Structure 1
């Protein structure tokens, strides 16, 4: 479904917006830093050392995760979509864009491929997606006009109608395995034979743990995405990294 007009491109979220979406976490981290450093001079030697260590650890996590966001979202090729030509040299064709509350990929795609019909489906469900960061992001970047509501088990798209499905930072927000499995089954249903799922995600791996600390546990491990693809009869075509922190998978559906 093509939007009648394509508005001017909006700047995708960078480190400034990420801090805004997650300001309670930043406020909590800064409180730990300030509290630890303030308390340390008043404590005996061992507790003081622990307080300083905790403060420095919190500061390192804040600085490291902020630097990682700056590198990925402000300075990599992620949102320029320059990497997409390598995956889809003939363009995306009829394509479906999935989001779970924050859609920052459909507009760049529409600008880059204005002749390719696009359908956008938002899977956001406030009863399931309870994170405050998603609500704050959604207020800043509301769904584009024409976006259709959907559920993981029911995408409002005809069977075998799509050449490409895009899920960029979307699927990991489905926290229940059953919802992720239902979504992948629906993606296969919507794809034409030979169609491609393009998925970009941070992974729960060494690089992202080093960058985001405990926050990396919000991401899924690589094996989970491969499990879901295999269960939906989607076969890996390629797997690439952007800025060493985002993995882009291309899965293809080939009927048996």
Structure 2
């Protein structure tokens, strides 16, 4: 008699899932396109031109952001973790994965480094992570068994116990600066001397603004992550770009 096996985890989110998580935004954008084009023939010349321009701008934004998501989440090395070798040539060792409602990092890490001890903490709190997309993503990808609940000000992990902490598309979901500051302080507490924080985020920069338009304001600028790391006593070691739209930082705790 064969032993039942657990169902495989869902594949990491690609453009199809991103659209599903954010369907109200896409529905609003498509409505703007359709409404502008439908209304334009019934308007005087100048308002009609404005309606068509608005519709075309909305269409361009939808197309550009969807293409950017496809490039990052379906075509890049983001989920293969090939980019990680340059940041952690010796591997992650004992490591902590932090999520804020959607964890698509711990499983690829466990497959790539099966001998490394891993802990996972989920900071999801409807009062803090208010985005509807996070609720929809969490329903599709529930936390893995053994995931511990945590708060930005309290990670349920012993002090100085981790060689590496991963925060992949997680920290920007904490919309209040004091919560981000508390999280970085806790990350420093959990790291061993010489340990590393791997922070992966879209940045609010020219490239992401061109790709996502106003949606790039959901991201944090590079200076904010450097400020948080410096305030927590973490030193910037190196960084790399993934698909030219995502930045992976490596911050180190002092070895002293």
Work out whether the TM-score is over 0.5.
yes
Paired residue for 2:167? 167
Question: By how many angstroms is 1:8 displaced?
Answer: 4.0
**CA deviation digits over 1:201-235, x for unaligned, max 9?**
00000000000000000000000000000001100
8 A Cα contact 2:209 2:215, kept in partner: yes
Q: How far, CA to CA, are the matches of 1:55 and 1:14 in structure 2?
A: 26
Shift of 1:7: 6.7
Equivalent residues of 1:166, 1:197 under 8 A apart: yes
State the alpha-carbon separation in 2 of the partners of residues 110 and 7 from structure 1: 16
In structure 2, the residue matched to 1:206 is 206
After superposition, residues 61-210 of structure 1 pair within 5 angstroms as 61-210=61-210
Q: For 1:146 and 1:198, how far apart are their aligned partners in 2?
A: 22
2:232 match: 232
- Residue correspondences, number: 252
Deviation track 1:157-206 (CA, whole Å, cap 9, x = no partner) reads 00000000000000000000000000000000000000000010000000
What SS is found at the alignment partner of 1:217?
Answer: helix
Q: Scaled by the length of structure 2, what TM-score is found?
A: 0.96
Structure 1 residues 231, 73: CA separation in 2 closer, same or farther (over 3 Å shift)?
same
Runs of 4 or more off by more than 6 Å in structure 1? none
Q: Contact 2:102–2:143 at 8 Å: present in 1 too? A: yes
Corresponding residue SS for 2:103: coil
Q: CA RMSD in A?
A: 1.2
Q: Which runs of 5+ in 2 are unaligned?
A: none
Cα-to-partner distance string for 1:86-115 (whole Å, 9 max, x where unaligned): 111111000000000000000000011010
Residue number in structure 2 paired with 1:215: 215
TM-score (ref. length: structure 1): 0.96
Query: What is the CA–CA distance in structure 2 between the aligned matches of 1:232 and 1:131, rounded to whole Å?
Result: 26
2-side partners of 1:244 and 1:224: how far apart?
19
Deviation at 1:85, TM superposition (A): 1.2
Q: C-alpha distance in 1, partners of 2:153/2:237? A: 25
Task: Give the Cα separation in 2 of the matches to 1:212 and 1:155.
Answer: 32
Moved more, 123-132 or 33-42: 123-132
CA distance in 1, matches of 2:248, 2:8: 26
Contact between 2:10 and 2:141, CA under 8 Å: does it hold in 1? no
